[in-house]
Structure 1
Amino acid sequence: MTIQEQLPWHQVDDETLSYFKAIGVDYLTINPTPDTLSDGKDRLQDWLRYRDLAESNGLILQNVATTGWDALTLATEDRDQKIDAWCTLLRNLGEAGIPTLGYNFKPIGNFRTKSDIGRGGVRYSTFDYDEWAKKDHTVPEKQIDEPSLWANMVYFLERVIPVAEESGVQMALHPDDPPIPEPMGGAARIVSTLDQYHRIFDAVESASNAMLFCQGCVSEMGVDVFEAIEDIGGRGKISYVHFRDIQGTPRRFREVFIDEGQTDMRKAMETYKAVGFNGPFMMDHTPAFPQKKAAWVGRAYAVGYMRAMIQSVYE
């Protein structure tokens, strides 16, 4: 079993990659900005360079992550051009031997409110719907209803999933965050429930049409996390896992340290094993430390926790 960590593309360097290797990371995710991908340019040489840099530090470049571009979610006039750009990205990743592409499909988000303070003075990423609703978050140019967003999702998948299959790339769809299945900021949200995921899987049946199983977001949905792992994992649709946890309810939660959330993390790991999941686990992100020189401490703590859990359950 493997542990995966992420970096923005401009921070991929020997110093950071060697740090990842030292703390026990196996796989690398690169998070490029959408503008660096949506122009449709052939970037195969860039991906090969990043792959070689990762491998020279003992890591495997496993995944690239991006957002769902506005042209795709809102069906602007240049949608087909941007779909072509997405297909170019898929082909480049396939040629470079990078097997997964993480993405989301929402016009607006993520949403958060004022951070709660946790142990040692860290700041927890927090969402309080009642506080959020006190302000107008409407984005006039991104208004879209649910039927239209569903139509745009299916149109997109029908055109890109065949290319993903041909390229040997699995597309991993991240849940809405927060996963509230109602319009927020004037835009519908259709990746907020497990039933919506099944509708997405059924729309275009393919091993390349999968879920980025963000366990924190699934917990935010208010469902039984273990049953959710069995549900999605039973279909073979978990591409990789954000192994993190929260405290709270769908409308009032905070993202806490990996050891202090409301989910039995060992039982979760055992459930992943039981459904046959063998993909990578990621911490996703951790609370923000106020102390100087502590920016990377949370990563190391979460990676060490995951490594111990993997050794305890899988090995």
Structure 2
Amino acid sequence: MPALAAAQPSRRVGRLGPGQVFADLKVRVNEGFNLGGDYHSVAGDAPTDRKSLEFFKRYGANLVTITASRNLAQVVGQPVPSERSVEELGPWDGDALKRMQDDCRKMDMVLECVRMDSAFIIMKTNDDRRRWLDRLKDNIRKCSEAGVTSISYHWCMIPQQRNKRAVVRGGATHNGFTLPANWRTLPPDYAGVVSLEEYWARIEIFLKDIIPVARQYKVRMSLHPFDPGGLPAGYLGVTNYDADFANGLKRYVAMVDDPHNALSYCAGVGGESFKNPNDQLEIMRYLLERNKVTQVHMRNIIGGQNDFQEVFLDMGDINYYNITRLLRDTGYAGTILPDHNPRHPDDPKSLQSYGFANGYLLGLKRGVNEEAKLILGQAA
């Protein structure tokens, strides 16, 4: 059996026992969290065609996340903010959702989540945002009727920040980010200048209007933190809700304290948001113990806040053994997904990278549960 990763001690607790990440959190066996696949690794022509679903299933993923387009049919890319009108952003095709769910069920899989774009947060007028919210309410109903249990989203006031690329290993390359020295003089991006107060005001309107509808239809709204977190206030004209990453997420889930106001928590973003990437364990525990997480995205980095390089899951600074221990011991019952894998010319869709990542995540899950059995004296 390989040597176990050393636990990261918490600032809040004392001496740790075997296999613990927090001394006051008891070790348990937890088989309740499962592997998912999403739009990052679409093997076929559409995310739920047979070729794509067989790829997910071969590598242990039985839960599927798609991105939203006008017809919810052939969607591969990352949803990005847009100045598009409400009409161009929908409505979603409820019949297409049902067909995609049927495709999954035929293979004993589940279409669990739709990733929508972030147009709401950058729309210029209250009227446009209100019309968008009305459209989303109908889309929530369609998801519920199709058996989709979650809608995730990514409030991008500015584009995802990457400004460098490097060889990781074996000729594979991946992206990174270093905060520019002249960041204070950079002009605002497409959203213009948006104060922290205005940003939170838009979020409050969204949550107070949408979460009751999500509760009615039993669809959890799941925020993916902005990537990267922890950018300085005023960067490219805006101050994100997560300028202070941990407190921003606490404020977000507390604004409407309801199980349907949740997170697609990204441990890669969490690592990018602290000087020490493993300091995110505190905020992860806070959210997990309050049932505020529907999915956990997993990718690794070298570095930390405002200076990092993305790498393969097994080679970075984030201790994913401890993160998986935390999922185990908090009783997490959601989905884990690989995220942002390196690319190589021989693997244009990164399917090799995602197959490797899936196997790594399944190994982590089995490893922490075998460890728990040993600690608890259960038969392996």
Instruction: Indicate which of 195, 198, 213 corresponds to 1:163.
Output: 213
The alpha-carbon distance between structure 1 residues 188 and 73, as it changes in their structure 2 partners (threshold 3 A), is farther
What's the % identity of the aligned pairs?
25
Moved more, 135-144 or 277-286: 135-144
**Matches of 1:243 and 1:201, distance apart in 2:** 21
Q: How does 1:137-148 map to 2 (within 5 A)?
A: 138-139=188-189, 141-148=191-198
User: Aligned residue for 1:100?
Assistant: 150
User: Aligned residue for 2:327?
Assistant: 272
**Matches of 2:323 and 2:173, distance apart in 1:** 25
- Where 2:237 maps in the other structure, the secondary structure is coil
User: Aligned residue for 2:358?
Assistant: 303
- Where 1:229 maps in the other structure, the secondary structure is helix
1:172 partner amino acid: S
Contact 1:215 1:241 in 2 (8 A): yes
Moved more, 139-148 or 197-206: 139-148
Q: Does residue 226 of structure 2 align to residue 194 of structure 1?
A: no
CA apart distance, 1:143 = 2.5
Moved more, 215-224 or 253-262: 215-224
**Matches of 1:270 and 1:296, distance apart in 2:** 27
**Matches of 2:280 and 2:97, distance apart in 1:** 35
User: Aligned residue for 2:236?
Assistant: 185
Q: Does residue 267 of structure 2 align to residue 212 of structure 1?
A: no
**Matches of 1:11 and 1:260, distance apart in 2:** 31
The alpha-carbon distance between structure 1 residues 69 and 290, as it changes in their structure 2 partners (threshold 3 A), is same
Moved more, 47-56 or 36-45: 36-45
Structure 2, unpaired ranges of 5+: 1-32, 70-78, 371-380
The alpha-carbon distance between structure 1 residues 287 and 39, as it changes in their structure 2 partners (threshold 3 A), is closer
The alpha-carbon distance between structure 1 residues 265 and 140, as it changes in their structure 2 partners (threshold 3 A), is closer
Q: Does residue 29 of structure 2 align to residue 5 of structure 1?
A: no
User: Aligned residue for 1:130?
Assistant: 180
**Matches of 1:268 and 1:79, distance apart in 2:** 37
CA apart distance, 1:71 = 5.8
**Matches of 1:167 and 1:178, distance apart in 2:** 32
**Matches of 2:321 and 2:102, distance apart in 1:** 35
User: Aligned residue for 2:284?
Assistant: 229
Q: Does residue 61 of structure 2 align to residue 29 of structure 1?
A: no
**Matches of 2:87 and 2:281, distance apart in 1:** 36
Contact 1:21 1:58 in 2 (8 A): no
Contact 1:5 1:284 in 2 (8 A): no
**Matches of 1:75 and 1:198, distance apart in 2:** 27
Q: How does 1:47-62 map to 2 (within 5 A)?
A: 47-62=97-112
The alpha-carbon distance between structure 1 residues 275 and 71, as it changes in their structure 2 partners (threshold 3 A), is closer
Structure 1, unpaired ranges of 5+: none
| CA RMSD, Structure 1 to Structure 2 (Å) | 2.4
User: Aligned residue for 1:45?
Assistant: 95
**Matches of 1:293 and 1:108, distance apart in 2:** 27
Q: Point out the structure with max Rg over C-alpha.
A: 2
CA apart distance, 1:23 = 1.6
**Matches of 2:110 and 2:222, distance apart in 1:** 18
User: Aligned residue for 2:52?
Assistant: 16
**Matches of 2:88 and 2:170, distance apart in 1:** 41
TM-score, with length taken from structure 1: 0.92
1:190 partner amino acid: Y
**Matches of 1:22 and 1:132, distance apart in 2:** 47
**Matches of 2:301 and 2:259, distance apart in 1:** 29
**Matches of 1:218 and 1:204, distance apart in 2:** 22
The answer to which structure has the higher helix fraction is: 1
Contact 1:3 1:282 in 2 (8 A): yes
